[in-house]
């Protein structure tokens, strides 16, 4: 049981990018081990507790592996990293180590094969293209045109301002077509359209 978890106030999805500023010793040590071994760590959404200080008291039982794509040490010792979501996992047994780092046993979830976009996905694909114009999304190199349902579902789930509970529900759905349907239903609800 040595897969390190990083509880955050966010839900990471496969293929999506996240920038983090790391200054706590437990996470600096964790990242140094990850960089040495060429491994990732798990991002799980905090349900109760804080990102900083003591280990979060409650976090989601579902998460996403984060692989370090870029990093830079600032003069003040803070480590700036960019990670990309990889495999989804379920959290099994966990343990909080003496330095307050949480480690876990995880079960990797099966990913379905990517399917091409269909005609009914045109509006959602257009929405993702327009999201790319937002400076924060553009800075992450996300949004724009994607090749398949999986990428479209993951990026929209990640970028749209849904509640963490909804995002976790979307992360749990293995079938991209089902996830896209759910996103459409959530958008209709937000726009006061069709009841969902």
Do 130 and 80 fall into the same domain? no
Domain encompassing residue 42: 3-108
- 32 occurs within a structural domain: yes
Residues 39-54 pLDDT 10s: 999 999 999 876 667 6
Indicate the pTM of the whole model: 0.92
- 195 occurs within a structural domain: no
Say if CB 21 and CB 13 are below 8 A apart.
no
Cα 53 to Cα 62: distance, rounded to the nearest angstrom: 22
- 47 occurs within a structural domain: yes
Task: Please give the C-alpha separations between residue 196 and each of 74, 84, 182, 192, in angstroms, as whole numbers.
Answer: 47, 31, 9, 10
- 131 occurs within a structural domain: yes
Number of domains in the chain: 2
Residues 71-101 pLDDT 10s: 999 999 899 999 999 999 999 999 999 998 9
Q: What is the CATH number of the domain that holds 7?
A: 2.30.130.40
Cα 83 to Cα 17: distance, rounded to the nearest angstrom: 6
Share of the chain above pLDDT 70, in %: 93
Return the number of other C-beta atoms located less than 10 Å from residue 21's C-beta: 9
Task: Give the pLDDT of residue 168.
Answer: 97
φ/ψ bin of 61: left (φ > 0), alpha (ψ from -120 to 50), beta (otherwise): alpha
- 196 occurs within a structural domain: no
Task: Give the pLDDT of residue 51.
Answer: 63
Say if CB 196 and CB 186 are below 8 A apart.
yes
- What confidence category does residue 56 fall into, taking pLDDT thresholds of 50, 70 and 90? low
Last residue of a domain, one of 81, 108, 135: 108
- 125 occurs within a structural domain: yes
Residue 22 confidence (pLDDT) above 50: yes
- 113 occurs within a structural domain: no
Do 103 and 7 fall into the same domain? yes
- Straight-line distance from the first to the last Cα atom of the chain, in angstroms, rounded to the nearest whole number: 41
Return mean pLDDT, the chain. 92
**Mean pLDDT lowest among 24-33, 44-53, 112-121:** 44-53
3-state DSSP assignment of residue 75:
coil
pLDDT, mean of residues 104-124: 93
Do 104 and 128 fall into the same domain? no
Do 14 and 87 fall into the same domain? yes
Last residue of a domain, one of 62, 89, 108: 108
Share of the chain above pLDDT 90, in %: 84
CA 17 and chain centroid, separation? 8
Residue 32 confidence (pLDDT) above 50: yes
Residue 194 confidence (pLDDT) above 50: no
- 176 occurs within a structural domain: yes
Task: Give the pLDDT of residue 191.
Answer: 82
Cα 194 to Cα 137: distance, rounded to the nearest angstrom: 28
Residues near 120 by beta carbon (within 8 Å), at least 6 away in sequence: none
Do 143 and 56 fall into the same domain? no
Q: What is the CATH number of the domain that holds 168?
A: 1.20.58
């Amino acid at each position: 049981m040595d897969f390190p978890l990083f509880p955050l106030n966010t839900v990471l999805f496969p293929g999506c990018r996240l920038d983090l500023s790391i200054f706590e010793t437990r996470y600096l040590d964790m990242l140094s081990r990850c960089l040495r071994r060429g491994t990732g760590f798990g991002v799980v959404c905090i349900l109760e507790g804080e990102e900083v200080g003591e280990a979060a008291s409650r976090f989601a039982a579902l998460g996403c592996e984060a692989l370090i794509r870029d990093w830079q040490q600032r003069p003040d010792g803070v480590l700036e990293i960019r990670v990309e979501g990889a495999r989804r996992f379920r959290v099994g047994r966990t343990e909080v180590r003496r330095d307050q780092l949480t480690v876990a046993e995880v079960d990797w979830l099966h990913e379905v094969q990517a399917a091409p976009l269909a005609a009914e996905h045109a509006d959602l694909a257009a929405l993702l293209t327009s999201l790319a114009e937002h400076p924060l999304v553009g800075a992450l190199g996300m949004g724009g045109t994607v090749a398949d349902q999986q990428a479209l579902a993951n990026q929209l789930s990640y970028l749209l301002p849904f509640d963490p509970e909804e995002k976790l529900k979307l992360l749990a759905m293995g079938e991209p077509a089902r996830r896209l349907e759910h996103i459409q239903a959530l958008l209709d609800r937000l726009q006061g359209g069709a009841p969902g």
